[in-house]
Structure 1
Amino acid sequence: MLKPLLQCTTCGSNDINKNGITRHGNQNYKCRDCGRQFVENPKWRRLSDHTKATVERMLLEKIPLAGIARSLQVSESWLQRYVNAYYENVPQQVQVQPKPRQQLTVQMDELWSFVDDKGNEQWVWLALYQFFKSKRQML
């Protein structure tokens, strides 16, 4: 039975020679045209851009690295290297646009009470800053 011709993974040439074996016992080949050395059926695979985009979306969801590696079937060491390289490209100084100044609306409230005896009167003041009609923040 004839074995199908191998092609170089880099240049596509059919001028291939055997070039020993790898440490895992796989046959190594070398292209005579470009000099590239390769294995016929490598176990590793190049990760697609879709997988990398999925990793970035999962990182934004704060999913642990072990969970991302398990669900996408990538190694944790590759994932850690990818995250470190991705982090280096993130700008460390973020340019924040100031919010336009608006009218400040503050609601005040007071409360007083006696603590321990009638001579120890304590006052509590509460200030609420109103962002919108539905949200308030204590100052």
Structure 2
Amino acid sequence: MKKRGRPRKYQENINCPECGSNWCKKFGKNTGRQRYKCNQCGRHFYEGAKYYKHSEKVKLLALKMYSEGMSKSAIARVLNLPYGTVARWIYEVGKFLDKHLQEKWKKLANRIDIDEISYIDIS
């Protein structure tokens, strides 16, 4: 049986900065620069752009600073990072913790039995 449809289009000279795949397609232009989309992981990127990966040590330090009460903008200034990067890290961790705590609460709620509730009206 023959395969239907177009064959996959590979860009030999373009690799995704996230997963390293060369199964990417052109995805429009922005300010004159060609934009690409990786069909493997779905990430959008520009050809020739430099993407930085921050170490886990820096991420944990930023999260610890935030948990100690520092503002996001102060953390960005101290660690010399973009504000959006710090905000995204905090958002992602908060989302993960929210999901984790909901699961814990569901498990705990199944074990709690309320036997008696007493209500006293003092009016």
Structures share a fold, TM > 0.5? no
Between structure 1 and structure 2, the one with the greater Rg is 1
Q: Which has the higher helix share?
A: 2
In proportion to residue count, which structure has more strand?
1
TM-score band (shorter)? 0.3 to 0.5
Report 1 or 2 for greater relative contact order, CA contacts < 8 Å, sequence distance ≥ 6: 2
TM-score normalised to structure 2 length? 0.43
